[in-house]
Amino acid sequence: MLERSVIVLASFSYLGVLFAIARYGDKRAEAGRSIIANPYIYALSLAVYCSTWTFYGSVGRAASSGIGFLPVYLGPTLMVALWWYVWRKVIRISKTYRITSIADFVASRYGKSQALGGLVTVIAVLGIIPYISLQLKAISQSFTILLHHPALVMPAQAAERPFFQDSALYIAMMLAAFTILFGTRHLDATERHEGLVAAIAFESVVKLLAFLAVGAFVTYVVYDGVGDIFARAQHDPRLRGLLTVPPSPASYGTWAFVTVLSMLSIMFLPRQFQISVVENVDEGHLGKAIWLFPLYLLLINLFVLPLALGGLMLFAGRGVDADTFVLTLPMSLNRDGLALFAFLGGLSAGTGMVIVETIALSTMVCNDLVMPVLLRQRWLRLNERRDLSGLLIAIRRLAIAAILILGYIYFRAAGEAYALVAIGLISFAAVAQFAPAILGGIYWKGGTRAGAMSGLVAGFAVWAYTLALPSFAKSGWLPRAFLTDGLFGIALLRPLELFGLTGLDEISHALFWSLLANVALYVGVSLAGRPAVAERNQAALFVDVFLHTHGVDRSRTWRGSASVQELLALTGRFLGPERAHEGFLAYARRRGLPDPRALVADADLVHFAETLLAGAIGSASARVMVASTVQEEPPTLDEVMDILDEASQVRAYSHQLELKSRELLEATAELRAANLRLQELDRMKDDFMSTVTHELRTPLTSIRSFSEILLDNPGIDAAERGRFLAIIVKETQRLSRLINQVLDLSKIEAGSAEWHAAEVDVEDVVREAVDSTSQLFREQGVAVAVSATAGVPAVRADRDRLMQVMINLLSNAVKYCPRGEGYVEVRVAAVADGVRVDVRDNGPGIAREDQETIFEKFRRVGDTVGPRPPGSGLGLPISRRIVEHFGGRLWVDSEPGRGAIFSFVLPLDRGAEPGREEAQAAG
Amino acid sequence: MERPGRTGQRLVAVFTAGVILLNYPILFLFARPVSAAGVPILYLYVFGAWTALIAALAYVIERSRE
Amino acid sequence: MSKRILIVDDEPNIVVSLEWLMKREGFDTAVAADGEAALAAVARDAPDLVVLDVMLPTMNGFEVCRRIRSEPRWSGIKILILTAKGRDTEVAKGLGLGADAYVTKPFSTKDLVAQIKQMVGAA
């Protein structure tokens, strides 16, 4: 009865109905009367999750692992409970920023990065292709099996047929055509396909009813209910194992890992993102879907185990693939109608998945992969074209065809190596790689583009190594040694036991390593780097999407959810209940109301509460606090952090102000100091001038006095006349010496003194200086001794200037030595940095506080203590400047009462050069 | 009107309960060859817990809409 | 009885010239080379006039002037400040401290002698 023509006709009729529904849905949408704008349609369309993998594969998996097929459905059940927070946010973000695909979402979150969008697209396409090929395989298998009706022939080696006889190829082509018709008839700005969603919801109903029909038939017609099947199975030792789970860590691990994997897949499979986010009409539909969708999953799984057990018992020893039980059970029992219904159910599961998946993928391929590349090709002049929609549609159609062809190629090449369930899980593990970037991206502002990129690349690479490549190896594309010995024969790199990790099944193993690499790099690289400004902006827009979309619907909702009590309580929290109540009471009285409770929580009251709060906690914080109450959402950690941020910014500003004013003060102080220094210099110059004039006036006074005396007293006796004339001569000499020294000093200071540098034997100079002052020593009764260590090297210096220094120091020493018992000792010695000369006297010594002042001009210590020795007061300053000119230094070491040691050091090789240059310049 | 924030928290609680009920170790307490009305208790337990979760979700959601 | 003049200066040659000039005019002279010696000399035998330099060891001339003026029994002593410091402020300071005259170095011998004779009333 089931001729090929009947099957083909039924198939096309079914697809025709689908198409009609889609057309109707689109028309209604254009007319503004959407048929999908209700939570039931939304929940049913979510069931696109149940592909042929569910329809046929669950029974197959149950036949081999018992209850192990369930985590794939328990995961989504658990996950949708969290959708209230997670998916509502993703939907809000996507609607607010008009996001059209999962690639778009990731790219947009991380600074609208084209590279990231492209990467996500590539991962999605490569990850999903096995899954699509699985649909082709299932549809073509079921078609082939049905064709051989009533015989039960397993389509064992599809790959051995030439491709033009392969029904899978025609199915792929038909699906491509149908998808193109469905998905890319026109281009919608929001990428929404209302008719398609309606058709998908219809398909969900069909596949559920078909599965339930087969299940109920086998359970209640063939057998005597669920209890009967289980009871019989328990008598079969081969089946008893399926009724429980081996209590081993491996099975706990697999259970948990597959649960997690399916929790992620329900969000990040491109078709799920397409249906649940992009095609979502109203955020509010999410609520009912949270319990309707799990209910659907429960129903479609109710009869899986009875079907598996029933099939295994009925087909015992007949070599029927458990993946086909849903179809072969009615066939073997000669229920042709039911078998056709089952076939159509499988077809609906397969087409639904393929259509939505390829549409989602083609959108990504077009928007995130092809167009960015095309738009960069200047020679195409795409930027100049006014309407690109034709091009976009063409690209999408090509993408759909290409994806299905790739799926077919994979089916031909690798399809036989795996059961349906295994292939599906490989795809699940691929899309699970999107989880860190997306979930991190909507809750963590710190996630960066580089972090997302590295995480995705690493996760996908590990996925490819531990799942995709092994599947190639199993299909014979790669040497099997790759599996058994690892890459390059390194055992630690065995793709199924990476780093020696055993005890996990293939999928759990791959999921563990890939997500570990992914999360570690995402977090690590994000923390190591800094997000660019664009990334930061996008991060804020995504993470704070509920803050940024206050808009119209906010203002509509807050009025309902804000209450006077809450505002009062909030205000009371910061102001104290009494003060808050007083404030509200006063506000109520102003409005002619007796009691705050009679107030309406309107915008004015909110504003009043905010103002009241602002007095206590600042206006910015008050706004956030009030907003949080008004929106009925407790302030999140981020909001609190924002408040703190703002406060710390204000603090930072004031700190900066403080710094500035401190700098100002410092500058003022510096100015004042500089001013004082200037005044000091001025005063010193004044002092210098006054001292110079004083020093000049003193000899002048004697000269004038005696000249006048001699002039006015011609009768003065000869001896006295001689004495007076000698004084005049001496004072005149003193005067010229003083004038010379002042000039000398000013020349040295001005840098215009003449220097004649030559190799100078210091000891020689010292002895000569002692010789030339010997008269002075004798006059004063002061003894002098010179000692020198052997091998004192010559230094480059001006011999005459050095002599001047020595004479200054010697005459200085003599001056302060006690008469008669004075003793001056001169030592010359080689030291590490040159030649050192010490002139030691046994005079009164110099107090520590005076030891620097004596090197100042005209500062003679002893101006106030003891007899003033003769001298201009310029000798030491000049000597010090001379020594310094040759790169040396001159200092005094003394204690009052113990004499003084004047010392200087001349370096060996420095100081001569400038002297020579100056000499040459002067010459 | 029920506060939406409450609904979210209740859903998180259901989620947490589901994670605990449908995983090691509680789930594996029922992995023993005991049957009730012919059906192994593991099977009964998983579907029972699953149904209870869905009921809880439905209760939380529908209550928030009243 | 001839008038007594105390010469206070630390420049030996200036002291020589002043001594010679005072002796020529018939005054008795005493010499002190620093401030403390000057006060000691005044205390020992109060002169009629002090010729006082300012830049002195141990105690400057202004201080010596102030101390002499602070003793009522020495109120009759005339003080002539003779210094190379010729700035107005210093002249004012010296006169303010009770000096009777202020002559800057180098000085005219004739004028100085005339001034001193006038001050001691010997003219």
pLDDT value of position B52: 92
Closest chain C C-alpha to A759 CA, distance in angstroms: 42
Cα C45-C47-C53 angle, rounded to 5 deg: 115
CB A128 within 8 A of CB A358: no
pLDDT value of position A279: 84
Residue range C64-87: mean pLDDT, rounded: 87
Chain A residues whose beta carbon lies within 8 Å of the beta carbon of residue C108: 704, 708
Q: Decide: residue A278, CB within 10 A, 0-12 exposed, 13-18 middle, 19+ buried.
A: buried
Q: Decide: residue A762, CB within 10 A, 0-12 exposed, 13-18 middle, 19+ buried.
A: buried
ipTM of predicted assembly, 2 dp? 0.92
Contact C84 A701 (CB under 8 A): yes
What is the C-alpha to C-alpha distance for residues A455 and A450, in angstroms, rounded to an integer?
Answer: 8
Task: Among C57, C59, C110, select the one facing A866 at the smallest CB separation.
Answer: C57
Contacts of A73 (CB under 8 A, 6+ apart): A54, A262, A297, A298, A300, A301
For B4, the closest chain A residue by CA position comes to: A632
Print burial letters for A513-538: b (CB count within 10 Å at least 16), e (below 16): bbbebbbebbbebbeeeebeeebeeb
> Most B CBs within 10 Å: which of A42, A46, A77, as the mutation test of the B interface?
A77
> Most B CBs within 10 Å: which of A46, A73, A290, as the mutation test of the B interface?
A290
Closest chain A C-alpha to C14 CA, distance in angstroms: 5
What is the C-alpha to C-alpha distance for residues A33 and A53, in angstroms, rounded to an integer?
Answer: 34
Residues of B with CB under 8 A from a CB of A: 1, 3-5, 7-8, 11-12, 14-15, 18-19, 22-25, 27-28, 31-33, 35, 37-40, 42-43, 46-47, 50-51, 53-54, 57-58, 61, 64-65
pLDDT value of position A651: 66
What is the C-alpha to C-alpha distance for residues A778 and A771, in angstroms, rounded to an integer?
Answer: 11
Task: Among B3, B18, B25, select the one facing A81 at the smallest CB separation.
Answer: B18
Chain C residues whose beta carbon lies within 8 Å of the beta carbon of residue A702: 11, 13-14, 17
pLDDT value of position A414: 66
> Mean pLDDT for each 10-residue chunk of chain A (923 residues)?
77 87 83 81 90 86 83 90 88 78 84 82 90 85 78 59 68 83 62 81 92 90 85 79 70 85 91 88 85 92 89 80 85 84 90 89 83 70 59 82 87 64 80 91 87 93 87 73 72 74 80 92 89 72 67 33 72 69 83 78 73 53 59 48 62 75 82 82 75 82 91 88 90 86 81 80 88 85 86 84 88 82 88 87 82 71 44 78 87 85 82 42 36
Report the C-alpha dihedral over residues A539, A542, A545, A548, rounded to 10 degrees: 50
Which residue has tokens 């200085």?
A812
Q: Among residues A609, A611, A587, which one has the least CA distance to residue A599?
A: A587
- Which of residues A482 and C26 earns the better pLDDT score? C26
pLDDT value of position A916: 41
Closest chain A C-alpha to B44 CA, distance in angstroms: 11
Tell me how far the alpha carbon of residue A498 is from its chain's centroid: 29
Contact A701 C33 (CB under 8 A): no
**The residue count for chain A:** 923
Contact A255 B4 (CB under 8 A): no
Residue range C29-46: mean pLDDT, rounded: 90
Q: Decide if pLDDT at B22 tops 90.
A: no
Chain B residues whose beta carbon lies within 8 Å of the beta carbon of residue A631: none
Phi, psi of A634 (to 5 degrees): -65, 145
For A870, the closest chain C residue by CA position comes to: C11
Contact A81 B15 (CB under 8 A): yes
DSSP helix, strand, coil percent of chain C (3-state; round to 5): 45, 20, 35
**Tokens coding A540:** 């804020």
What is the C-alpha to C-alpha distance for residues A577 and A763, in angstroms, rounded to an integer?
Answer: 96
Contact A701 C14 (CB under 8 A): yes
Contact C57 A868 (CB under 8 A): yes
CB C62 within 8 A of CB C54: yes
Q: What is the pLDDT of residues C93-109, one digit of tens each?
A: 888 888 899 898 889 99
Q: CA torsion sign, A31 to A37 to A40 to A43?
A: positive
What is the C-alpha to C-alpha distance for residues A880 and A853, in angstroms, rounded to an integer?
Answer: 12
What is the C-alpha to C-alpha distance for residues C75 and C48, in angstroms, rounded to an integer?
Answer: 10
Phi, psi of A845 (to 5 degrees): 85, 175
Q: What is the DSSP string of A868-901?
A: PPPS-S-HHHHHHHHHHHTT-EEEEEE-TTS-EE
Chain B residues whose beta carbon lies within 8 Å of the beta carbon of residue A246: 31
Contact A697 C60 (CB under 8 A): no
Chain B residues whose beta carbon lies within 8 Å of the beta carbon of residue A82: 11-12, 15
